[in-house]
Structure 1
Amino acid sequence: MKDRQGCMPLHASYKLLLLVLVALVVLAGFSYKIMTTRTYLRPVMYTPSPHTLALGHPTFEDIREYERNLPQHRTPGLFTKYHPRYLFFPWEAWGTGWNNVFQEQLLNTHLAYLANRGYVFVDYIARDHPPFPDELPNGTRHMLHIPMNALTSGPTGGGSWGEGANPAVSPPVSQNWWDVACPPEKIVEVHMAETTQELGITESTTGEKRLMLWAEKLRNIEAECVSVLGGTPFDYVFILTETVVSMWSSYGDSPTLKQYAWSALITRAIARNFPLFSSDPQVPPALSPTLSRITTTPGAGSVAAPYPLNAFTPLRADAPPIRGLLGIHLRRGDYEAHCKSLAEWGLGYNTWNNFGEPRVRATGLFPPLPDYLSLRDNETRADAVLRHCWPTAEAIVERVRSVRAEAAERDGQQLRAVHMATNGETGWVADMAGRLRADRWELVSSSLDMQLAPDEFAVSQAVDMGVLVAAETFIGVGFSSLSSNVVQLRLAGGRHANTSRLW
């Protein structure tokens, strides 16, 4: 009943207010219960283990905090219609070098994108070629764990898919967030062997067909959290086959590659060492730190007092090249025995390095790399493999000289500096540097000349790769996954196929 002014009686207003307050309290309690019982807050903060501290391994605490605070690592609002969908590959490659692992991770990122799911990225565990001692006094191993954003800040590390990307695709997330957002009862497991048979995939199925079949399968699963067990569709064996190049039609123009960026850590290392690669006193904008975020303390920016990572914008693969720089990959050490094994096994070039094969070039569908596993007159395939895989010092100087001349004549490049990405012994590298200086190179540097802080040294292979991708011209090892990754990133970043050469 209303009073004469048409208003509710006073006691009725109190009742209504009380009901609203009770409803708000109940709703808040309900929301709190959801948040606390499912721990949908944030991944736990990183705490270095005693073993990590005892061995003196870099802890990457700043990078781990950055990953923890990625915007996608938050619970969607209570009333949002947005429900993230994730794809996790717990059986991705492991126990090999980083570049073998990374090849697979990049392809899995692209598959997740096609499946409208966020790729789940993990740490790289340095089991092979560890950069630091990893054996404890009791004889057990404690291997270095490198967070993804120490290597890349592209989509594979949780970066943006970029403008124009499919808005239905969830952003990639860390394994720590997967553990929070995907409790066991929410996970649907997909098994490699069973699904491969279900999809009718055989050894003769092209890479592109394999990719599309898997993408459709994963896209049509309603569950938010999908885990692929028993391997991945693009494992190490498949990646070594020439059929992988057929995926380039979708992969080469994908956000995974087009949005690729080296981590701020790698960018910082390249910026500090820029005088090795160029006589230009002005560091290019893509490598310049943000002045407002760096310290003016004497010695700042050095190995002993490196600039903070948030002063650097991750170096994109499509950034302008370092003018006048030729980057060369010279794999040494254990590669001599590996090259002999490759010759015995009759294997061809690694993955994207096959773009130069005449039968691949003839299709007109792929970037036409200038070089391939060629045989000279009366040369056996085994001898050709060794020549391309393990060039002599004399052959290196001759090849570098000819590529410099071709780059000047064809592309107008004036190559003056050469950087050797190598794991060669100190004496061999010094001899090689002397030979190149004698051949009138103004600047000659190598991996051994890099001034790196401990966390940068842990990813020194990727620091070298960042330089090789940024170089005006590159010469790589056709059989190497490192060289293959450099080639694909150069192509995706807009470098012309003519500028990526092979020994």
Structure 2
Amino acid sequence: MNRRFLPRAAPLKLICLVLVALVLLSGFSYRIITTRADLQQVSYAPSPHTIALGHPTFEDVKEYERTLPQHRLSVLAAKPRPRYLFFPSEAWGTGWNNVFQEQLLNTHLAYLANRGYVFVDYIARDHPPFPDELPDGTRHMLHIPMNALTSGPTGGGSWGEGANPGAPLPVSKDWWISSCPASETVEVQLADTMKELNITDSTTGEERLVRWAEKLRSIEAECVTIIGGSPFDYMFIGGDKVLSIWAADGNYSYGNSPTLKQYAWSPLVTRAIARNFALISSDSVPPALSPTLSRITTTPGAGSAHSPYPLNAFSPLRAAAPPIRGLLGLHLRRGDYEEHCNNLAWWGAGFNAWNAFGEPPARETGRFPPLPDYLSQHTNESRFDAALRHCWPSPEIIVERARAVRAEAHGQQLSTVYMATNGKPEWVTDVAAKLRADGWDMVSSSVQMQLSRDEFAVSQAVDMGVLVAAETFIGVGFSSLTSNVVQLRLAGGRDPNTSRFW
């Protein structure tokens, strides 16, 4: 986006292999590990490539992950030991939100299987936030730790009250490598298991979830890895079969799962929103975003993008936190979406995943949150033109739609607008001027966010944190970012009528 940013006892051989794997996979270098106990003393240092490219190191986030309670050596001595589930071939090569949709569902599956989900870094192959090509032409992709994005259960956070008390907490890939050697790991082949479980293209998402959970629960091995992808890849998530998972029976329900109900944005995201809060509201910074005073410094310049407060001064921002009064959040995807919207229109694509709750067939079941909007067509309007209108709204449509949603907002006094966008600054300035002329008191955007380098690397999540917190939201129905915002708003208790589409 266009933003400003400121600058069990194990043999030694196994430990060495772990060390090499960590160096290669994470982009960090590690001091020598000579004993099992040293696994609790790993120190991180940026690689030469990271330094050369000026990428953020996320050392504080890595430390946060390393010290999660489920990463203590005493866990390995427990009887019985926790059971884990690793997806080494989760979605990759796509944008973060496509990957994250899959990771959230895999977290839910692991929970149902009574296994700890293994979380990994996000590798910014697609839409990298920084240049990542070295002078010799080789590419060194940025690795973003999960807890730079989310600190909910998917990032190792608590399952919360009411969850299965025996459910293992998710763990990092580093922990998986150190505690699940290949000789003790059972490999489950995705394609073979799909056939075994009689899962076809006509199988509902709920049936798929239940059969996989039962299969994984029945495996006695502590360490299980699924080879060849995952049951919920982005192609499956993009279709309407995924919807039945939301309202699955009993504990299988994704919509009521601790994965979503306990969702929280990372302290890094929280810090960025807190510092930029004046852009989105004239109110005081709410408690959910306020730093712990005892952990901030009074050094001149502290708390700025140049010298941000330490992450341990901020708590993860729960999706269930109270909304920001009067705020209308807009998702306005531009850039590559101009071509992508045309492709989606030609393909006859429908709204992405949870955005389809508003489609008449979904609403008529009475099982799902009744979103008020769907991919509608005006009289004498082709489906192609309707899709473009929903996917690529003009400035005039944006102003008109925002005005209509403001008028329909029951019990809300919407007065401010935040535009989450990767549009060119001049386009954003034009739309903002038109919105102000239409009576909005404050209009701000991604372009104005003052972000430190590590915050800029997760700026998409910063935008999403604002959109989830807004009283009302208008998004792009075809977008996985919008779909993730919608599911987190619903899980956080927002009225379905406050999640709208262009």
Say yes or no: TM over 0.5: yes
Any unmatched runs of 5+ in structure 1? 1-30
Bigger mean CA offset, 486-495 vs 81-90: 81-90
The amino acid across from 1:433 in the alignment is A
1:47 deviation in Å? Answer: 2.5
Report the counterpart of residue 173 of structure 1 in structure 2. Answer: 171
Aligned to 1:140: 138
Query: CA, structure 1 residues 81+397, in 2 after alignment: closer, same or farther (shift >3 Å)?
Result: same
2:90 and 2:230 in contact (8 A); partners too: yes
User: What is the distance in 2 between the residues matched to 1:429 and 1:79?
Assistant: 56
d(CA) in 2 for partners of 1:421 and 1:78? 43
Query: Distance in 1 between the 2:397 and 2:298 partners?
Result: 47
> Which residue of structure 1 lines up, in the alignment, with residue 275 of structure 2?
272
The whole-number CA distance in structure 1 between the counterparts of 2:377 and 2:43 is 56
Amino acid at match of 1:275: A
Paired residue secondary structure (1:296): coil
Give the corresponding residue for 1:335: 337
Contact 1:40–1:74, Cα closer than 8 Å, also in 2: no
Distance (Å, rounded) in 2 between the aligned partners of 1:107 and 1:404: 33
User: What corresponds to 2:266 in structure 1?
Assistant: 263
Aligned AA for 1:261?
Answer: A
Distance 1:217 1:415, change over 3 A: same
Q: Secondary structure at the match of 2:69?
A: coil
Amino acid at match of 1:125: I
Instruction: Give the direction of change, closer, same or farther, for the CA distance of 1:176–1:32 in structure 2 (3 Å limit).
Output: closer
The aligned residue for residue 443 of structure 1 is 442
Q: How does 1:317-332 map to 2 (within 5 A)?
A: 317-332=319-334
Counterpart of 2:374 in structure 1 is 372
Question: Which residue of structure 2 lines up, in the alignment, with residue 344 of structure 1?
Answer: 346
Alignment-derived partner of residue 227 in structure 2: 229
In the TM superposition, residue 81 of structure 1 has moved relative to its aligned partner by: 2.2
Q: Specify the SS of the correspondent of 2:465.
A: helix
The corresponding residue for 1:488 is: 487
Instruction: Tell me which stretches of 4 or more aligned residues in structure 1 moved more than 3 Å.
Output: 31-41, 76-80
Letter matched to residue 267 of structure 1: T
Q: Cα offset for 1:167?
A: 1.8
Deviations 1:213-244 (A, max 9, x none): 00000011000000000010000110111110
Contact persistence 1:477–1:502 (CA under 8 A):
yes
Q: Which residue of 2 aligns with 1:454?
A: 453
Once the two structures are superposed, residues 271-319 of structure 1 have per-residue CA deviations (whole angstroms, 9 ceiling, x without a partner) of 0000001111x21000000000000112211011100100001100000
Deviates more, 1:354-363 or 1:43-52: 43-52
Report the count of equivalent residues.
Answer: 469
Please name the residue that 1:308 is paired with.
Answer: 310
Q: Distance in 2 between matches of 1:35 and 1:496?
A: 55
Query: 1:380-399 residue pairs with structure 2 within 5 A?
Result: 380-399=382-401
| Shift, 1:75, TM fit | 2.5
The 8 Å contact of residues 76 and 83 in structure 1, kept in 2 or not, is answered as no
Q: Given residue 439 of structure 2, which amino acid in structure 1 is its aligned partner?
A: R
Q: Which amino acid aligns with 1:312?
A: F
CA distance in 1, matches of 2:458, 2:101: 16
Q: Quick one: distance in 2 between partners of 1:117 and 1:339?
A: 39
Letter in 2 for 1:502: F
Q: Would you say 1:197 and 2:195 are equivalent positions?
A: yes
Matched to 2:226, the amino acid is: V
Residue 45 of structure 1 and its aligned partner are, at CA, apart by 3.0
Question: Match for residue 363 of structure 2?
Answer: 361
- Which of 85, 91, 113 is the equivalent residue of 1:115? 113
Distance in 2 of aligned mates of 1:437 and 1:496: 26
Deviates more, 1:484-493 or 1:375-384: 375-384
Q: Which residue of 2 aligns with 1:9?
A: none
Q: Which amino acid aligns with 1:462?
A: A
> 2:18 maps to which residue?
none
Q: Which amino acid aligns with 2:500?
A: R
CA distance in 2, matches of 1:322, 1:428: 26
| Alignment of structure 1 residues 404-419 onto 2, 5 Å | 404-407=406-409, 411-419=410-418
Question: SS of the residue aligned with 1:95?
Answer: coil
Match of 2:255 among 252, 255, 268: 252
Provide the C-alpha distance between the structure 2 equivalents of 1:78 and 1:116, rounded to a whole number of angstroms.
17
**AA at the equivalent of 2:374:** Y
TM-aligned CA deviation for residue 36 of structure 1: 10
> Could you give the per-residue CA deviations for residues 6-52 of structure 1, whole angstroms, max 9, x where no partner exists?
xxxxxxxxxxxxxxxxxxxxxxxxx9788998765436432311101
Partner Cα distance (2:198, 2:14) in 1? 42
* Partner amino acid, structure 2, of 1:341: N
In 2, Cα distance between the equivalents of 1:496 and 1:78? 43
Matched, 1:470 2:469: yes
Q: Which one has the largest radius of gyration?
A: 1
Q: Counterparts of 1:387 and 1:273 in 2: how far apart (Å)?
A: 31
Q: Which residue of 2 aligns with 1:16?
A: none
Q: Distance in 2 between matches of 1:416 and 1:36?
A: 62
CA contact (8 A) 1:45 1:68 kept: no
Cα pair distance change 1:454/1:37, threshold 3 Å:
closer
For 2:125 and 2:268, the matched residues in 1 are separated by 21
CA distance in 2, matches of 1:330, 1:324: 19
- Matched to 1:116, the amino acid is N
State the percentage of identical aligned residues.
Answer: 74
Give the equivalent residue in structure 2 for 1:285: 287
**1:60 matches 2:52:** no
Cα distance in 2 for partners of 1:319, 1:78 equals: 35
Alpha-carbon RMSD: 1.5
Contact (CA 8 Å) 2:10, 2:36: kept in 1 or not?
Answer: no
Query: Structure 1 residue 76: deviation in Å?
Result: 3.2
Confirm whether residue 497 of structure 1 aligns to residue 496 of structure 2. Answer: yes
SS in 2 for 1:251: coil
Partner of 2:22: none
Given that 1:76 and 1:82 are in contact with CA atoms closer than 8 Å, whether structure 2 keeps it comes out as no
Write the distance in 2 (CA, Å) between the matches of 1:395 and 1:307: 40
Q: Indicate if the aligned counterparts of 1:40 and 1:180 stay in contact, CA closer than 8 A.
A: no
Distance in structure 2 (CA, Å) of the matches to 1:219 and 1:40: 29
Once residues 76 and 299 of structure 1 are traced to their aligned partners in structure 2, the CA distance between those partners, rounded to angstroms, is: 41
The structure with higher relative contact order (CA 8 Å, sep 6+) is 2
Alpha-carbon contact 2:9-2:36 (below 8 Å) kept? no
